[in-house]
Amino acid sequence: MTLATWVDEHTVDVTVINGREGKAIKRLRNKSIGSIQKKLSRTKNGSKDHRRLMAAKKKIQAKTKYRLQDFDHQVARKAANHIIAHNSGRLVYGDIRGIEQKTKEHRRVGSHQRQQLSKWSRGRQERYVNKNTGFKGEYLDEARSTKTCPACGARNRPTGRDYRCKNPSCGFVCHRDALGAINILQKAIHGTYVPIGQDVKICVRYLRAVKRWTKDQRLAHRKVQRRKARALSSAQNRASSREISTSKQRQAQSLTSPLGLDQLVVMA
Ligand SMILES: [Zn+2]
């Protein structure tokens, strides 16, 4: 979800809320359910294995449902923070369905563009934003909002993450999502994609929806923790075997010497 708001005549504030986690949650679910489905096809209906797999499948579905709900809440919270911080007068959503709404000139407008999540998830995020801010978001047709250059009005086909205007006298470059939100913002104010002008400062802030570890981060952490645990246990083993082999006299020495158990733990 991306939001754009005019701060003053020369500045547009943009907040880009990354929706990657939402996609990751869905991907993980599809993968796990796929593998369960594969096993299910090899079991007999009503058998013990079949029941066990069905329960596992249900568990994954329920877990994903809550994780996605939580994700949408977090996106909406961050979007609402942007809207509240800018004291926006209106809230306008870019809409692919093409519902045109009457627009009134208003300087302070909060607008945001939908992202490539599922329609259902976007609708829910918008509901949460409305609830958080007390606004009833309007909808605006967002056709061509990702193609039109907000500096000169030229139309370009965006490639990759950044939008680059191919107009040689313009050369405007900006994050693709931010561009869409800026265009919706202009349309909400003026009714069409009126260029913002060349000298306007665009301040983009990137936020992650969920401050949760990715799967890779989790696996990397687990690896480190396991290595630590192994080192610790082997250190303890070394320490205990040394204790057994040494005489009483030596044991007394080791208690006072720096080579105690504590130091071995620190090394690990
Ligand atoms: Zn341009």
| pLDDT digits (tens), the chain, 268 positions | 889 999 888 899 999 988 878 888 888 889 999 999 999 999 988 899 999 999 999 999 999 999 899 999 999 999 999 889 887 788 888 886 644 444 444 445 555 544 444 556 788 988 999 999 898 888 888 888 888 998 888 888 878 888 888 888 888 888 888 888 998 888 888 888 888 877 889 999 888 877 666 777 788 888 988 998 998 888 888 877 766 665 555 544 444 443 333 333 333 3
Q: Same domain for 11 and 119?
A: yes
In this structure, the answer to whether residues 252 and 198 fall within a common structural domain is no
Boundary-marking domain end, from 208, 224, 247: 208
- In angstroms, rounded to a whole number, what is the distance separating the alpha carbons of residues 56 and 39? 11
Which helix (H) or strand (E) segment holds residue 164: the answer is strand 162-164
Expressed in angstroms and rounded, the spacing between residue 195 Cα and the centre of ligand 1 is: 9
**What's the rounded Cα separation, in Å, for the pair 196 and 10?**
9
Q: Are residues 127 and 182 in the same domain?
A: yes
| Gap from CA of 197 to ligand 1 centroid (Å) | 10
- 220: domain range? 215-267
* Residue type (1 letter), 125: Q
Question: Do the bridges between strand 173-175 and strand 2-8 make them parallel or antiparallel, or are there none, so unpaired?
Answer: unpaired
Same domain, 108 and 198: yes
Residues across the chain: 268
Is the domain of 149 the same as that of 175? yes
Q: Please answer whether residues 148 and 183 qualify as being in contact, where contact means their C-beta atoms are separated by less than 8 angstroms.
A: yes
Kindly give the distance from the C-alpha atom of residue 153 to the centroid of ligand 1, in angstroms, as a whole number.
6
Among 150, 136, 123, 131, CA closest to 89: 136
Which of 181, 208, 235 is a domain's end point? 208
Residue 44, both tokens:
């007999």
Residue 83 and residue 135: Cα distance in Å, rounded?
Answer: 10
262 & 136 share domain: no
Q: Are residues 162 and 224 both part of a single domain?
A: no
CA of 178 to the centre of ligand 1 (A): 15
Q: What is the distance in A from the centroid of ligand 1 to the CA of 167?
A: 5
Number of domains forming the structure of the chain: 2
Look at residues 171, 186, 208 and tell me which one is the last residue of a structural domain.
Answer: 208
